[in-house]
Amino acid sequence: MSLGYTESDERQELRKQVAKLASTYGREYFVEKARSGEKTTELWLAIGKAGYLGVNLPEEYGGGGGGIGDVAAVCEELAAQGCPLLMMVVSPAINGTVIAKYGTDEQKQRWLPGIADGTETMAFAITEPDAGTNSHMITTTARRDGDEWLLKGQKIYISGIDEAANVLVVARTADERTGKLKPCLFVVPTDAPGLSFTPIPMEIVSPEQQFQVFIDDVRLPADALVGDENGGLAQLFAGLNPERIMAASFSTGLARFALDRATAYVKQREVWGTPIGAHQGLAHPLAQSKIEIELARLMTQKAAALYDAGQDNEAGEAANMAKYAAAEAACDAADRAVQSHGGNGITQEYGVAGLLVAARAGRIAPVSREMILNFVGSHSLGLPKSY
């Protein structure tokens, strides 16, 4: 008998195998790569070769034929082993979903196999310096020039574009009938003339960097447009709900890793002849984290199930709630892990202090906790909007 709150045997086995693979790399590998300015390419390609990277993509294009819940499980288990790969959120989940849903057969054949096996990683570019969360204020524009498109604008905080073959750019085109600008999606090769990017120095310890991207009259063929140019926000949000679900799994994985490190430490660290984990001042906060993490995981599972069932409105609400709960759980777990270690918590040797910034990013990206509260207030509770 299958219970509504349990995962299938297949997904539980998927989690086990991903954790097994990731554990052969582990946190030390991840941090060493990050601090030396290298990439985790070996792990990325290993996940792709094993079939885990594109587990949510259609089988005919090299994927596993699963849903967003499956790729979210992969993302979580990687993070839980100390290897939180940000491009998992971007390449297979956002871009893979959008292309699989709205791309032509030719576009799917062209881009999805490389996304699935990790050899053609794709970045995603939506955020702009003056737009932030308000995607209606995006100023990157696309205009027709004969049978081609010309893109112009700039983006900021774009993850991993330096290790991507292509980037899915959100631009705006003028509606021929109304003249109003509407969002459109374009696949742009990262070596296209006119496209350039510069790294943004970050405090976060990660091999995946953030970039400012400049798009200066980048010329694209007609088939660079993914989906219908009149498709509007529906096509954009096909990628943003999975993004929130993946961000939640990223955070719960980080939280699990932090809690595991803290629990192991307080069991073996003895002061006055007893393990410090026996003291409620340490035991209770860690128990609280366990509860918070499991609640966030359950909501993430609900969001994924709703999305995979095609219930987009309900999935949007659940995905926002899951992402909020997971980020809070991760921040609390990271803070408690550092506190549990005492002075050791802020050393590189014990490797938990770096989790503070990584976990904190979940409260900001890909959508801030305040905007989620706005969404829940106006959409879930029916309160008047303040903006």
Q: What is the pLDDT of residues 362-385, one digit of tens each?
A: 999 999 999 999 999 999 999 999
Q: Which pLDDT score, from 0 to 100, does residue 357 have?
A: 97
Q: Give which of 249, 263, 230 is closest to 333, Cα–Cα.
A: 263
Asked if residue 236 has pLDDT above 90, the reply is no
Same domain, 200 and 85: no
Rounded Cα distance, 270 and 283, in Å: 14
From the CB of residue 377, how many other CB atoms can be counted at a distance below 10 Å? 14
Q: Is residue 254 situated within a structural domain?
A: yes
Q: Is residue 304 situated within a structural domain?
A: yes
Q: Given the structure tokens 């529906």, which residue do they identify?
A: 234
Q: Are strands 122-125 and 141-145 parallel, antiparallel or unpaired?
A: unpaired
Q: How far is CA 274 from the centre of its chain?
A: 41
Rounded Cα distance, 355 and 255, in Å: 9
Q: At 243, which CATH number?
A: 1.20.140.10
Same domain, 208 and 239: no
Q: Is residue 246 situated within a structural domain?
A: yes
Asked if residue 330 has pLDDT above 80, the reply is yes
The arithmetic mean of pLDDT across residues 53-67, rounded, is 98
pLDDT band at 5 (very low <50, low <70, confident <90, very high): confident
The pTM for the full model equals 0.96
Domain holding 131, by residue range, is 124-226
List, in order, residues 6 or more apart from 310 with CB less than 8 Å away.
none
Q: Give which of 170, 167, 95, 178 is closest to 139, Cα–Cα.
A: 170
Same domain, 242 and 317: yes
Asked if residue 6 has pLDDT above 90, the reply is no
Q: Is residue 1 situated within a structural domain?
A: no
Q: Give which of 87, 106, 77 is closest to 14, Cα–Cα.
A: 77
Q: Is the alpha carbon torsion for 66, 68, 69, 75 positive or negative? A: positive
Same domain, 134 and 110: no
Same domain, 170 and 72: no
Rounded Cα distance, 32 and 83, in Å: 11
Q: Are strands 225-226 and 141-145 parallel, antiparallel or unpaired?
A: unpaired
Distances 300 to 49, 53, 258 between C-alpha atoms, Å: 26, 19, 19
Same domain, 107 and 151: no
The pLDDT tens digits for 76-135 are 999 999 999 999 999 999 999 999 999 999 999 999 999 999 999 999 999 999 877 777
Q: Which pLDDT score, from 0 to 100, does residue 175 have?
A: 75
Q: Is residue 2 situated within a structural domain?
A: no
Q: Is residue 42 situated within a structural domain?
A: yes
The pLDDT tens digits for 149-166 are 999 999 999 999 999 999
The pLDDT tens digits for 243-282 are 999 999 999 999 999 999 999 999 999 999 999 999 999 9
Same domain, 247 and 363: yes
Q: Is residue 3 situated within a structural domain?
A: no
Q: Is residue 4 situated within a structural domain?
A: no
DSSP bridge pairs for 215: 153, 195
Same domain, 65 and 111: yes
pLDDT band at 1 (very low <50, low <70, confident <90, very high): very low
Domain count, the chain: 3
Q: At 201, which CATH number?
A: 2.40.110.10
Q: Which pLDDT score, from 0 to 100, does residue 3 have?
A: 57
Same domain, 134 and 177: yes
- DSSP three-state, residue 189: strand
> Looking at 189, 210, 226, which one is the last position of a domain?
226
Q: Is the peptide bond before 366 cis (omega within 30 degrees of 0)?
A: yes
Q: Give which of 316, 351, 327, 197 is closest to 249, Cα–Cα.
A: 327
Q: Given the structure tokens 């100023």, which residue do they identify?
A: 139
> Looking at 120, 155, 181, which one is the last position of a domain?
120
Q: Give which of 99, 92, 100, 101 is closest to 74, Cα–Cα.
A: 92
Calculate the average pLDDT of the chain: 95
Same domain, 261 and 201: no
Same domain, 280 and 326: yes
Same domain, 283 and 369: yes
Q: At 30, which CATH number?
A: 1.10.540.10
Beta strands in the chain (DSSP E): 122-125, 141-145, 148-159, 166-174, 181-189, 195-200, 210-220, 225-226, 270-271, 274-275
The pLDDT tens digits for 283-323 are 999 999 999 999 999 999 999 999 999 999 999 999 999 99
Q: Give which of 72, 76, 78 is closest to 27, Cα–Cα.
A: 78
Rounded Cα distance, 86 and 88, in Å: 5
The pLDDT tens digits for 183-224 are 999 999 999 999 999 999 999 999 999 999 999 999 999 999
pLDDT band at 337 (very low <50, low <70, confident <90, very high): very high
Q: Which pLDDT score, from 0 to 100, does residue 249 have?
A: 98
> Looking at 169, 193, 226, which one is the last position of a domain?
226
